[in-house]
Amino acid sequence: MNLEKVIFGFFIVLALTLNFGFFLGDIDNPAHHDIIELFLAIIVNLIATGLKLGDRSQIGAVLLATSLVADLQLLAAAVVWSMAVHVTGSGLDSSVMATIVSLSGGALIANVVSVVMLVTETLMLRR
């Protein structure tokens, strides 16, 4: 068993599960979406992106692209949250929360694509 591949897979799947945990719940209810979980999803996604940087294969390039999309979406969600709470002072009303959760949903799709590609690549290596 290759420890590097285990760590790589761990962070990719953890990024997906943390993002899913944040995404789950009523789209416009701030009580269903924790800022700590969004923060952890961002950190783990950034770590997963860093782990994908060394791969020079075509599938590695697509994995990196999906990770960059997820990073961008999650960072945009964090910016919207920060702007609503600290800059505009409007707080987390239902429309702002829907925007944040929608951005997280885009990142979730990118993470799903990344995990599917990882599993597919693993299955192809076995043959």
Cα distance between residue 67 and residue 14, in whole Å = 13
The pLDDT tens digits for 32-54 are 999 999 999 999 999 999 998 88
- The backbone torsions φ and ψ at residue 55, rounded to the nearest 5 degrees and listed phi first, read -80, 125
Q: Which helix (H) or strand (E) holds 70?
A: helix 58-82
pTM of the model: 0.91
Q: How far from chain centre, in Å, is Cα 32?
A: 18
Residue 127 has pLDDT above 60, yes or no: no
Nearest Cα neighbor of 113 from 25, 27, 26, 48 is: 48
The pLDDT tens digits for 49-102 are 999 888 888 888 999 999 999 999 999 999 999 999 999 988 889 999 999 999
